[in-house]
Amino acid sequence: MVMQREADANLWGTAKPSATVTITTSWDNKTYSVKAGKDGKWKTAVRTPKAGGPYDITLSDGEKTKLSNVLIGEVWICSGQSNMEMPMKGFKNQPVENAVEDILHSADKELRLFTVKRNSRFTPVDTVSGKWNEANPASVREFSATAYYFGRELRRMLDVPVGLIVASWGGSACEAWMTADWLKAFPDAKIPASEDDIKSKNRTPTVLYNGMLHPLIGYTMRGVIWYQGEDNVPRYKTYADMMAAMVHGWRAEWGQGDFPFYFCQIAPYDYKIINYTVNSALLREQQSKAELMIPNAGMAVLLDAGLEYGIHPRKKNLAGLRLALLALDKTYGIEGITSESPYFRDVTFQNDTAIVRFNRADMWVYGRNGLKSKYFEVAGEDRVFHPAEAWIERSKVYVRSEAVPHPVAVRYAFKDWVNGDLYCDGLPVSSFRTDNW
């Protein structure tokens, strides 16, 4: 396994009732003692050194247990729904781009992978099923692609051991990863009162928190990456507040302060294929709001990395890379990289032209094919949007349509499916709108 470096890293378990448990760490030969409760449960923390290993940890309550091949480095929790769960081998007839070559070259004894097996529960449990694996073609093939690409970039840049713990379930709702207490502000979330109320193993509120997250809470780590939101598109109105409540709840229970929380904005896809009648750009808008609401958070924009006919985009390398950029910049302080996409600042109207400005755009925006974008629309007082010509001059985007002589609102890429074409410093701009209609 991997333990978080230079930290008071939590260890816990069960022993003989009321026994004294001794723990010896081979990196400093220090011995810790903790007394188990009458139920046999115990918990303590050991001080970890700088990155390195492998080391051993020996535990005894009269009977010895030895943990071998323990590395000290950086630990991240990786959670969400199917786009986090999607393995490097892909799903059937849904491949991951460049996976064959990347799996081939994936062997790395200092990248360690743990996948929490699916577990939906009515009440919180204390244990998970799964095992640590060193990265190699066999283990990486079955492991989350988004998480793998994230971890690979951390290994390349930090040159320390990295441990990734994936707890994800395809199709899962945000509500499923939360407690009943955190969901009190969201009356539409139907908390199960009994096992019979669990109509969906991955969508019912609280069940994945209980079965998959609760056992991990307290495992000393650096931060969390998250890729979820597709299931919440029909319930988009509460998503920013809900996500903020979830992150606040996770942080409160972990007791590690405002640890980093980096997440993917959902990628474009034609949601009409699965009979969604809500524009998924409204959920992306909520995620953009959440990024600014949640302390120590960051959003990886994937507006150029979707798949029109598939809800599982192939470009998982971009998802992992952009999450890694956020961590390397904001958490590890590596200079010279850009990690945060620009976002809409304001719009002014001059006669028939809208002039749009952006925050976080010191290097100015540009189009994929020059200084133009094909995804802007404008509307007048009638609130009817028309495709518009959009051109870029220095730091501003100018937008105009002959069909709208007096524009009052602008939208960019505000649809289910687009292939975003507006960038700044190598990162795509999120879809946005200036209206609230």
Q: Summarize the confidence of residues 220-232 as an average pLDDT.
A: 98
Top CATH class, 2-71: mainly beta
Mean pLDDT of 168-187: 98
382 pLDDT band, cuts 50/70/90, is very high
310-323, pLDDT tens digit by residue?
A: 999 999 999 999 99
Q: What is the 3-state secondary structure (H, E, C) of the chain?
A: CEEECCCEEEEEEECCCCCEEEEEECCCCEEEEEECCCCCEEEEEEECCCCEEEEEEEEECCCEEEEEEEEEEEEEEEEECHHHHCECCCECCECCCCHHHHHHCCCEEEEEEEECCCCCCCCCCCCCCCCEEEECHHHHHCCEHHHHHHHHHHHHHHCCCEEEEEEECCCCCHHHHCCCCHHHHCCCCCCCCCHHHCCCCCCCCCHHHHHHHHHHCCCCCCEEEEECCHHHHHHHHHHHHHHHHHHHHHHHHHCCCCCCEEEECCCCCCHHHHCCCCCCHHHHHHHHHHHHHCCCEEEECCCCCCCCCCCCCCCHHHHHHHHHHHHHHHHCCCCCCCCCCCEEEEEEEECCEEEEEEECCCCCCEECCECEECCEEEECCCCCEEECEEEEECCEEEEECCCCCCCCEEEECCCCCCCCCEEECCEECCCEECCCC
Q: pLDDT category, 274, cuts 50, 70, 90?
A: very high
- The pLDDT, as a whole number, for residue 121 is 98
For the stretch 355-376, pLDDT in tens is 999 999 999 999 999 999 999 9
pLDDT of residue 40: 97
Picking from 75, 79, 226, the residue whose alpha carbon sits closest to that of residue 166 is 79
Two structure tokens written together for 40: 């046999």
* Per-residue model confidence (pLDDT) at position 88: 98
The proportion of the chain whose per-residue pLDDT surpasses 70, expressed as a percent, equals 100
Per-residue model confidence (pLDDT) at position 182: 98
Q: What is the pLDDT of residue 194?
A: 97
Share of the chain above pLDDT 90, in %: 100
| CATH fit for domain 73-331, picks 3.40.630.10, 2.60.120.10, 3.40.50.2020, 3.40.50.1110 | 3.40.50.1110
pLDDT of residue 123: 98
118-170 pLDDT, tens digit each: 999 999 999 999 999 999 999 999 999 999 999 999 999 999 999 999 999 99
What is the rounded distance in angstroms from the CA atom of residue 405 to the CA atom of residue 208? 52
> Is the pTM for the entire model greater than 0.85?
yes
Q: What is the average pLDDT value for the chain, to the nearest integer?
A: 98
Please give the pLDDT value at position 353.
98
Q: What pLDDT digit, counting tens, does each position of 91-109 carry?
A: 999 999 999 999 999 999 9
pLDDT at 143: 98
Task: Please state the domain extents for the chain.
Answer: 2-71, 73-331, 343-433
